[in-house]
Chains A and B, each alone.
Chain A
Amino acid sequence: DGGITQSPKYLFRKEGQNVTLSCEQNLNHDAMYWYRQDPGQGLRLIYYSQIVNDFQKGDIAEGYSVSREKKESFPLTVTSAQKNPTAFYLCASSIISTANEKLFFGSGTQLSVL
């Protein structure tokens, strides 16, 4: 089955610790995205990538880093510089098309601070 896999489902971070959230897709999509959702809020874009070895900052990139070494993988690192990391993190992918911008989402990772 094609889809997007995020792991882990739940993650806990200690003060001063960096943690990495995994996102893998086998949909052969060129573009991948990381969003953050806080309770009662919409989705806020952290980073996105339209091609391997290239990525762009979204609206709230501070305190986060990404890499795109393979088309299938787009891991997100939440660094110690992110002072309020507790949130639900969503990874998504899409084809690059001028006709639509339909995103396919993973099931999310809930990050909490210990």
Chain B
Amino acid sequence: DQQVKQNSPSLSVQEGRISILNCDYTNSMFDYFLWYKKYPAEGPTFLISISSIKDKNEDGRFTVFLNKSAKHLSLHIVPSQPGDSAVYFCAASDLAGNNRKLIWGLGTSLAVNP
């Protein structure tokens, strides 16, 4: 059973517009969430994270929103750039329970068109 779900396998947006990538989770014990970006044949690189004590975290063009009651988080990229075209993975963990294993979604492939 997939505990972290990224229901959109792919997303296409125009350069300069907002990209919104969504992630849902089922385990209410998750208290820490991360987004990673991955180019083909490369390792994922960390983008942004959020703790469950917050509902928003911002870093430049990237903002992550967390809705704990809905068990939903989203990554907003504004404005989107062609270099943002990659696969984005959402991951979650239960740090308070000392479960250090990250649970990963299947990823969303983002294409930003010039």
Contact = CB atoms under 8 A, between A and B. Distances in A.
Contact of A101 (B43, B95, B107): B95
A77 to B, nearest CB: 20
Interface residues of B, number: 23
B95 A41 contact: no
Interface in B37-80: 41-46, 49, 51
Contacts of A58: 101
Interface of A: 4, 6, 31, 40-45, 48, 50, 58, 88, 90, 92, 96, 98-108, 110
Given A100-B51, A105-B43, 18 more contacts: A40-B9, A42-B106, A42-B107, A43-B89, A43-B104, A44-B104, A45-B102, A48-B100, A98-B95, A100-B32, A100-B49, A100-B95, A101-B32, A103-B102, A105-B45, A107-B42, A108-B41, A108-B42
Interface of B: 9, 32, 34, 41-46, 49, 51, 89, 93, 95-96, 98, 100-102, 104-107
